A and B are shown apart, each in its own frame.
Chain A
């Protein structure tokens, strides 16, 4: 037999699971990965942006774009904070489900039906859609309720199927996104018979807390943004407490850790799945209300703009900890804003910003591998051969 002639061969390289790494070290790796990602971004920029090749000194301007994207002026700062808040809201919404290892990939759709429901209530109960609309603050409560219910319903359907027939929730929730998108197209066609597919509600943005307008000082648009930011911050803290310190939170964590244990200790798994998904969907609905009722005052298939998918990554990068999500959603939004600044400053193709973001995220997500696993190399490889 051939094999007996040689000793058992040690592989050149193998990986082992790594546990108990120093948290400081973990964050060091992540920061390093981010920096490497940004540097790689610069290299790609040299390869793809003609203006940069002609004038390499503009590379400082390139990196400055990322800072500009956030702090160029007051508008940008508020916009940044508001964008972080919306993304955070969706990510936090996903958290209870993810903690339960229910892979809810349907945040996009759950949020979109929330937007649709909020705008729909305004369409049917409010002033006609065109320019004559009045800021109808009375409708804000029904709009909110409708959005929460719509989001919850969209999450409930896959949850029921999962609880009853153990269907694959990843695919089911994903497919529900497309149903939601087409539902929006359908409603627009119904509501706007002139074919422009453009619906708008209140011109004067409703302000939920008029008192806050004073705090925001400058003008009404900031109070809107502030409303969104404070609402989302409150929700984030509440969900953190819910997961960490309540019985419900404990139950969903147990279901996520081990289904068997959960059954053994008498947790009603089906009930937990349905309850948690209702919560998850409802929070997506809240994000939908913030987009449709407070911010855009309109709905189209791009209203959520892929944030439902980005939210998955935000939640994942934060290891499903709502408080850390504040940081991760800020980082993703920082990259988004910076990349779009680059696209304006360097007059490049509209697709390039996404490439940049992808490169940085590749490094950041890739670093997770090195945090979770250890690479082992064959020692003294040459000596063994000799």
Chain B
């Protein structure tokens, strides 16, 4: 008898729920966020700011867990958030992925979103998603600004050497950074044909001393302009001290470097948060791999500092940006004669390592329709080709 009553009650409750959800077509969203560090890290701060913007814009509830190591602690944090009633859980660091996957298997009704990860497209778990942004488009635009500056220096006869030379301070020698500096170089090359570039790696995402030293070494080696893919103020400071033009990353450095800062690109994660929240609220599926673009505001360019930039930079950058937005232009344009060459040969085919496996097997043909399809087969970058015109001074894995 008790069982029947219980069943009846459960049924009534279920019906009531259905009635309720149809009456209210938008589901309340509670977003749980797992960060590797806290607001003291520029990387995590960038996510935190985006989360707060999305929270204010959409009026959702947000729970943030800071300083979660890439270990079982991430799994525990994800479970705690799920138990806490979060229906989306987001983690920001590459090493969180395995633990997010584990939690995703356990909580099939909660959406798990992971930035910079690579496993979603092979794991085939409906509630696990990867995301990244086409930051290479932003770097290309920054490269255009750099190229124009070099052209100006060339015209004024202020180049240090025969040909325009750029220096680049990178963190590690892997796809994310290679894709970044190559797109920056290509942007510069698109307006300054004979430019060459030297790259120095520091082996750390944040090491002010090392980055500054690397930038100083590049300046001493005759570079006319410096850019970087690392998180500290090291390289911009070195440039300001030496009076060398600088293209920075992850936010404008114009305040500390008013005379040398040209422009900076960064990923803005706010559109992604807004996207996943809306998906869940409307009961729509979230993309397995989501790649933010310039068009949707995920890739941002800071304001151009006209004190340091060449004349006409603002107009030129706006023009190229419009070409990206309507899909006319591709960064890794292999059809353009002499634009991307390897060992003097035009690049026309490349097997990329898209499915991240232990043997680093090359599994996917990335070049078709005249360009390298970066971030299309998965959201995280996989362009890792050493092209002509770029010289690596060292390697740091």
Contact = CB atoms under 8 A, between A and B. Distances in A.
Contacts of A75: 76, 79-80, 83
B94 A189 contact: no
B397 interface: yes
Given A131-B122, A350-B37, A350-B40, A76 B80 contact: yes
Interface of A is mostly: loop
Interface stretch (A191-199, A260-268, A309-317): A191-199
A303 B71 contact: yes
B39 interface: yes
B365 interface: no
Given A197-B95, A302-B71, A350 B39 contact: yes
17 contacts: A72-B83, A75-B79, A75-B83, A128-B357, A128-B358, A131-B119, A131-B122, A131-B357, A193-B397, A195-B396, A196-B95, A198-B94, A295-B71, A296-B71, A298-B95, A300-B71, A343-B66
Given A198-B94, A351-B38, A132 B358 contact: yes
A126 to B, nearest CB: 11
- Counting chain A residues whose Cβ lies within 8 A of the other chain, the interface size class is 35 or more
A300 B38 contact: no
A130 B123 CA distance: 12
Which 6 A-B pairs give the minimum distances between C-beta atoms?
A350-B38, A128-B358, A195-B174, A350-B66, A198-B95, A195-B172
B174 A128 contact: no
Contact of A196 (B40, B80, B122, B174): B174
Interface string A188-230: 0100111111101001000000000000000100000000000
A251 to B, nearest CB: 38
A130 B357 contact: yes
Contacts of A56: none
State which size class the interface on B falls in: 35 or more
B94 A196 contact: yes
A74 to B, nearest CB: 9
A68 to B, nearest CB: 10
Contacts of B98: 200, 203, 298
A46 to B, nearest CB: 21
Given A196-B95, A198-B70, A344 B360 contact: no
Interface of B: 35, 37-40, 63-67, 69-72, 76, 79-80, 83, 94-95, 97-98, 102, 106, 119, 122-123, 172-175, 356-360, 396-397
Contacts of B83: 72-73, 75
A175 to B, nearest CB: 21
A347 B172 contact: no
Contacts of A57: none
A79 B78 CA distance: 13
Contacts of B102: 203
A289 interface: no
Contacts of A194: 174-175, 356, 360, 397
B207 to A, nearest CB: 13
A305 interface: yes
Q: Which of B37, B65, B173, B397 has the most CB of A within 10 A?
A: B397
A350 B36 CA distance: 11
A60 interface: no
A243 B377 CA distance: 61
Interface string A66-92: 000000110110010000000000000
A351 B66 CA distance: 9
A129 to B, nearest CB: 6
Nearest to A341: B80
A73 B79 CA distance: 11
A349 interface: yes
B67 A350 contact: yes
A130 B172 CA distance: 21
Contacts of A344: 63-65
B397 A189 contact: yes
A195 B173 contact: yes
A193 B174 CA distance: 9
A287 B253 CA distance: 45
Interface in A168-198: 189, 192-198
A303 B70 CA distance: 8
Given A198-B94, A305-B69, A351-B38, A130 B174 contact: no
Nearest to A302: B69
A314 to B, nearest CB: 19
A350 B38 CA distance: 5
Contacts of B63: 344
Given A130-B356, A347-B64, A300 B119 contact: no
A295 B69 CA distance: 13
